[in-house]
Structures are given as C-alpha cells and as structure tokens.
C-alpha cells in the first residue's frame, strides 16, 4: 500500500473516534456519568497511594509514586473538562449546572490539578531511591503570611515547591472543585 493511503486510513479512523466521543458526551448519558465517576475514583485511589507514602504507612516507591501522579495528571486538564462538557446535568451525576455557566473557573481547576500532578511526577523522577528531605513540607510552607509572604508567588509555582506541599495543595484543588461544582449529599 502506498504510504499516503496508510496515513489517510489512520486519519479517518481518528476522525471517526472523535465524532463517536463527542456524540456520547453530547447526551451526558449513563456512559459519560459512569466515566466521570470512574475517572474520579481512579484519581482518589492514586491520591491515597501517594498520601500513604508521605505518611510512611507505605514504603516509598518512586515508580508507584510516579504512576499515581501520572494517573492524576492523565485524568486532569482537558480530559476532565471534556468529560463535563455540555449538557452537564445528568441522571445519577452530582455535577452541578454552574459548570456550564462558570466554565473558565472549572477549566482552571482542572488545569491546576494537572500542574500539581506533573510536579509530583517530576519529583518522583528526581528521587528514585528515597523520599528525600527536600520532598518534605517545610515549616513555613502552609502559612500564607509571615516571613514567607514575600516569596508567595514563587511558592505558588508547583514545580518549585516541595512535593509534599504540592500534594497538599493539589488536594485543595480537588476540594475546591467539589465545593463549587459537585452537589452535596442529600
Ligand atoms: C475541576 C473539578 C474537579 C476536580 C479538580 C476534581 N473533581 Fe472530583 N468530582 C468533580 C465532580 C463535578 C464530581 C461529580 C461527578 C458525578 O457525579 O458525575 C466529582 C466526583 C468525585 C468523586 C465521587 C465519584 C463517584 O463515584 O461518584 C470522587 C471520589 C472524587 N471526585 C475525587 C477527586 C479527587 C481525589 C480529586 C483530586 C485529585 C478530584 N476529585 C478533583 C469535580 C472535580
């Protein structure tokens, strides 16, 4: 077969799957709701694994740490935003209608999640053997004011903060999004 034909068949195949994906998300049917919730559960499981390593209830394993960080990264950003594209409200989903009206805020949280997850992944890459002291949160990291306030903007760069701080800040992104865009129980 001529190389162009191969390229074209690949292109057409990709185009078909993109159309199939948008058709599914346009209905916000059971499949989409299931996928939303599966993605969230996968991120929760990954976050739990990382948390256990910081808490020393699981031994540090750089590979597993990185896999968990990459799981969150892969489910963040555009993929997350797309899963909650219009129509947002659906039977069995706790996603709230304001995702549609406040989409830039939703997308920003989805992107921030990815930035923190990428920072965690990079930290695992840099520390293949042990959970190094530099990965640990320092005393002043959680304080917003005080002597560290002037370094606030630097501290907000996920790549330049200790991994543990990036992890806790990432969890705050999960919580912020849920507070704003997920319906409360009952
Ligand atoms: C940009 C917004 C956003 C971010 C960021 C986000 N979530 Fe969610 N999450 C949601 C929404 C909306 C739902 C409700 C989904 C539904 O019911 O369809 C949800 C649902 C969940 C659920 C319940 C799933 C189920 O089975 O019903 C869990 C667990 C969860 N999220 C964990 C996480 C964790 C852990 C993180 C961070 C690592 C995170 N989420 C980050 C928006 C977000």
pLDDT per 10-residue tile (average), the chain, 186 residues: 53 48 56 96 98 98 98 98 95 95 98 98 98 90 51 69 97 98 86
pLDDT tens-digit readout, 75-104: 999 999 999 999 999 999 999 999 999 999
Q: 185 C-alpha vs ligand 1 centroid, how far in Å?
A: 13
Task: Write down the pLDDT at residue 154.
Answer: 46
Q: Which residues form ligand 1's pocket by a CB distance below 6 Å?
A: 33, 36-37, 40-41, 43-44, 47, 72, 80, 93-95, 106, 109-110, 113, 173-174, 177-178, 181-182
Distance in Å, CA 174 to ligand 1 centroid: 7
Q: Rounded distance, CA 135 to CA 33, Å?
A: 36
The pLDDT value given to residue 140: 67
- Residue 7 CA, ligand 1 centroid: distance in Å: 38
53-90 core/surface letters (b: 16 or more CB in 10 A; e: else): bbeeeeebebebbbebbbbbbbbbbeebbebbeeebeb
| Predicted pLDDT at 37 | 97
Distance CA 126, CA 134 (A): 11
Average model confidence (pLDDT) for the chain?
Answer: 85
- Output the residue whose Cα is nearest ligand 1's atom 41: 174
Mutate to test the pocket of ligand 1, among 97, 107, 178 (most ligand atoms within 8 A of CB): 178
Rounded Cα distance, 182 and 175, in Å? 10
| pLDDT of the residue at 101 | 97
pLDDT of residue 63: 98
């Amino acid at each position: 077969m001529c190389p162009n034909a191969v390229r074209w068949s690949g292109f057409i195949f990709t185009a078909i799957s993109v159309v199939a994906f948008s058709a599914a998300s346009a209905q916000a049917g059971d499949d989409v709701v299931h996928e939303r919730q599966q993605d969230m559960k996968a991120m929760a499981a990954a976050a739990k694994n990382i948390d256990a390593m910081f808490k020393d209830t699981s031994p540090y394993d750089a590979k597993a740490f990185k896999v968990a960080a990459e799981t969150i990264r892969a489910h963040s950003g555009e993929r997350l935003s797309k899963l909650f594209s219009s129509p947002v409200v659906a039977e069995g989903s706790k996603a709230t209608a304001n995702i549609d009206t406040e989409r830039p805020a939703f997308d920003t949280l989805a992107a921030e999640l990815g930035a923190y997850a990428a920072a965690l992944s990079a930290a695992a890459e840099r520390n293949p053997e042990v959970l190094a002291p530099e990965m640990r949160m320092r005393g002043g990291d959680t304080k917003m004011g005080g002597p560290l306030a002037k370094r606030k903007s630097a501290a907000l760069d996920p790549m330049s903060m200790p991994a543990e701080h990036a992890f806790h800040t990432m969890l705050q992104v999960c919580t912020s999004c849920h507070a704003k865009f997920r319906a409360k129980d009952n």
